[in-house]
Structure 1
Amino acid sequence: MNRIGKKTAYSKLVKHADSLTNLKSFHEDDIKESITVARSYTLLLYGKKQMDTLDELRYIMATMTDKYASMLPQTVDAFQQHVLRAKYQTRIWCRSHIPNQELIEPVGHGWSACDDGGITQTLFTQPSAPVEVRDLTHFYCTDKDCLSARKCPCLLAGLECIDACSCTD
């Protein structure tokens, strides 16, 4: 989450500890409950606890503010994949005292199988935004080569560059 640091995260957690008590069982809860409590915490981090979804927050930030795409919250789909990976890792850490623990398969928990037998992160399973919306949200890039996600918001969002991008000149 861009520009939300550890200090902010900790202070929000302490301030709203009563409403975030389910975080203590994050690794044990079912996926739906884990996503719900993680979403609540994320909305608090962005200062929008009255909203229901990250897509709603993303829309408001994209249309009402002049934020770069990298500063927008994740889509619901990308957030869910992140929560699945965090839940998987937290489960391992919370059971680290158990010798020879039985691990669950990472594939399907925010990870995908590679052709070479390894695994890779599943960043999202749906498009980040419709192509028509990207001009409104500053998704178009200014990177002449579009080689780096740091310089190309389109790549960072998992989208193809459009005519407005400088790389298509």
Structure 2
Amino acid sequence: MICIFKHSQIWDLRGMYQQTSSIAFQAFTCQLYARNTKIVGANSLRYHMFCAKKGQIESGQLPPCEDSLMQHTLRANYQAAIWRRSLENLPDVPAPSAGHGWELDDGGSLKIRWMAGLPAPDVVLNLISCTCRRTCRPSDCSCILNGLKCTVVCKLQGCSNMVQDDAIVAQDANDSDGDSDD
């Protein structure tokens, strides 16, 4: 059985998430998804669950990746720290965009920082494809659901979610112009 008290000790009372606590929090998350597992890394458990189901598992059934879990943890800890300070006069509150899981967009509005890195290595991202027939809709398209653009591997070509990178087209044109048998 999971001991919530044991895992509650990873939070800093000042609202600062300690980087050394990442392993403990991942272990807790792994226990939530696979009760009797000895796996303590979120990415390792994702891989193990994916392999156990032979790839026939929806992304929503997997635990979050380590990067996404870290960003969520930073936001949750920041919010809890705000609540802990709610009765203080003039509390010292750091900006949420200062490493607490949020960022400022171009207009200066606060938005959630879902991940700090790529969702997967480029090699893997190029393998993901959808099987949409008429149109790619957010509710059905596996590419959109995973926050990716459709690629040439997808069944439906020319959808509104396709990569529109003029730089790639220009590079391909330059490569073919330079081909000669001198």
Q: Secondary structure at the match of 2:115?
A: coil
2:100 pairs with 1:121: no
> Deviations 1:30-85 (Å, cap 9, x if unpaired)?
43144333212211101154112111111112222121123222211111111111
Partner of 1:120, secondary structure, is strand
TM-score by length of 1: 0.73
- Decide whether the 8 Å contact of 1:70 with 1:153 is kept in 2: no
Alignment of 1:6-25 (within 5 A): 15-17=2-4, 19-23=6-10, 25=12
Give 1:94's aligned residue: 84
Match runs of 1:25-104 below 5 Å: 25=12, 28=15, 30-47=17-34, 49-65=37-53, 66-104=56-94
Q: Look up the SS of the partner of 1:126 in the other structure.
A: coil
Please state if 1:153 is matched with 2:142.
yes
User: TM-score, normalised on structure 2?
Assistant: 0.69
Aligned residues: 153
Higher radius of gyration, 1 or 2: 2
Percent sequence identity is 28
Stretches of structure 2 lacking an aligned partner (at least 5 in a row): 159-182
